[in-house]
Structure 1
Amino acid sequence: MPETFTIHYFATASQYTSKNTESLPAPLKLSALFGELEQRYPGIVPKVLSTCGVSLNGEYVDAEEDGEVVIQAGGEVAVIPPVSSG
């Protein structure tokens, strides 16, 4: 069985992918995540991911600053849209 991690999509990300959750191959560097998703869902980076936050195993991460972090098999990633207040 291939090693995978789980990615959860919320709000606009879920609408764009037509999925709430899927499994992706692991290990994967955090810096490669958006490229992987762009290949699967063309246009998702500029239309959705550019404004979303990302968490890895419950902790917010920055795809650029934390790009060397490796998403391991069994990990959980969430794509979280901006939260408005008011």
Structure 2
Amino acid sequence: MSTFKLLYFAAASTYTGRDHDILPAPIKASELFGLLEQRYPGITDKVLTTCAVTVNYNYIDMEDSDAALILGQGDEVALIPPVSSG
């Protein structure tokens, strides 16, 4: 079975109670948030709408052409919520 690793940081980690998940691949990047909403109801409104997303350390735009990107075997995806400092 092909999989990719999804890393959770800051509020994403707090919301899920995890620092990562191993998810089945392949999947379109545009389908990722829907999958996460099924696993963690409410995560879209609480976390995902403000997150940056990286794939293999490269930022992607989930609302642009990058949404068609296929997340495949061995990819490392990260959800990075905004971080406040003070």
Class of the TM-score when normalised by the shorter of the 2 chains: over 0.9
Q: Which residue of structure 1 aligns with residue 35 of structure 2?
A: 36
The amino acid that maps onto 1:70 is I
1:20 aligns with 2:15: no
Q: Distance in 2 between the 1:17 and 1:73 partners?
A: 23
TM-score, length-normalised on structure 2?
0.93
Q: Which residue of structure 2 aligns with residue 67 of structure 1?
A: 67
Question: 5+ unaligned residues in a row in structure 1: which ranges?
Answer: none
Count, aligned residues: 85
% identical equivalent positions: 56
Q: RMSD over aligned Cα, in angstroms?
A: 1.1
Q: Distance in 1 between the 2:58 and 2:26 partners?
A: 18
Q: Distance in 2 between the 1:71 and 1:61 partners?
A: 12
Give the drift of 1:85: 5.3
Q: Distance in 1 between the 2:45 and 2:62 partners?
A: 14
- 8 Å CA contact 2:10–2:83 kept in 1: the answer is no
Q: Distance in 1 between the 2:84 and 2:15 partners?
A: 19
Q: Distance in 1 between the 2:36 and 2:4 partners?
A: 13
Q: Which residue of structure 1 aligns with residue 9 of structure 2?
A: 10
The amino acid that maps onto 2:77 is V
TM-score, length-normalised on structure 1?
0.93
Question: 5+ unaligned residues in a row in structure 2: which ranges?
Answer: none
Equivalent residue of 1:78, what SS? strand
- Show structure 1 runs of 4+ deviating over 2 A: 83-86
